[in-house]
A and B are shown apart, each in its own frame.
Chain A
Amino acid sequence: AQTVTQSQPEMSVQEAETVTLSCTYDTSESDYYLFWYKQPPSRQMILVIRQEAYKQQNATENRFSVNFQKAAKSFSLKISDSQLGDAAMYFCAYRKGGGSQGNLIFGKGTKLSVKP
Chain B
Amino acid sequence: SAVISQKPSRDICQRGTSLTIQCQVDSQVTMMFWYRQQPGQSLTLIATANQGSEATYESGFVIDKFPISRPNLTFSTLTVSNMSPEDSSIYLCSARTNRGNRENEAFFGQGTRLTVV
A-facing residues in B32-50 (Cβ within 8 Å): 33, 41-45, 48
Check if B108 is an interface residue, CB within 8 A of chain A.
Answer: yes
Among B31, B41, B108, B110, the residue within 8 A (CB) of A102 is: B31
Across the interface, name the chain B residue whose C-beta is closest to A104. Answer: B106
Q: Assuming the A-B contacts A91-B43, A106-B42, are A43 and B111 also in contact, with contact meaning beta carbons closer than 8 angstroms in the complex?
A: yes
Among B30, B108, B113, the residue within 8 A (CB) of A44 is: B108
A47 CA / B92 CA spacing, docked (Å): 15
A104 CA / B33 CA spacing, docked (Å): 9
Across the interface, name the chain B residue whose C-beta is closest to A111. Answer: B40
Check if B98 is an interface residue, CB within 8 A of chain A.
Answer: yes
**Closest beta carbon of chain A to B20's beta carbon, Å:** 19
Cβ–Cβ contact A45 & B96, under 8 A: no
Check if A62 is an interface residue, CB within 8 A of chain B.
Answer: no
Count how many chain A residues have C-beta atoms less than 8 Å from C-beta atoms of the other chain: 19
Check if A50 is an interface residue, CB within 8 A of chain B.
Answer: yes
23 contacts between A and B (CB under 8 A): A33-B105, A35-B105, A43-B90, A43-B110, A45-B92, A45-B107, A45-B108, A47-B106, A50-B102, A91-B42, A91-B43, A95-B106, A101-B48, A101-B56, A102-B30, A102-B98, A103-B31, A103-B33, A103-B48, A104-B43, A104-B45, A104-B94, A106-B44
Q: Which residues of A contact B (CB under 8 A)?
A: 33, 35, 42-45, 47, 50, 91, 95, 101-109
Q: Which residues of A contact B90 (CB under 8 A)?
A: 43
Cβ–Cβ contact A103 & B45, under 8 A: yes
Cβ–Cβ contact B98 & A108, under 8 A: no
Q: Which residues of B contact A33 (CB under 8 A)?
A: 105
**Closest beta carbon of chain A to B7's beta carbon, Å:** 13
Q: Which residues of B contact A47 (CB under 8 A)?
A: 102, 105-107
Cβ–Cβ contact B108 & A109, under 8 A: no
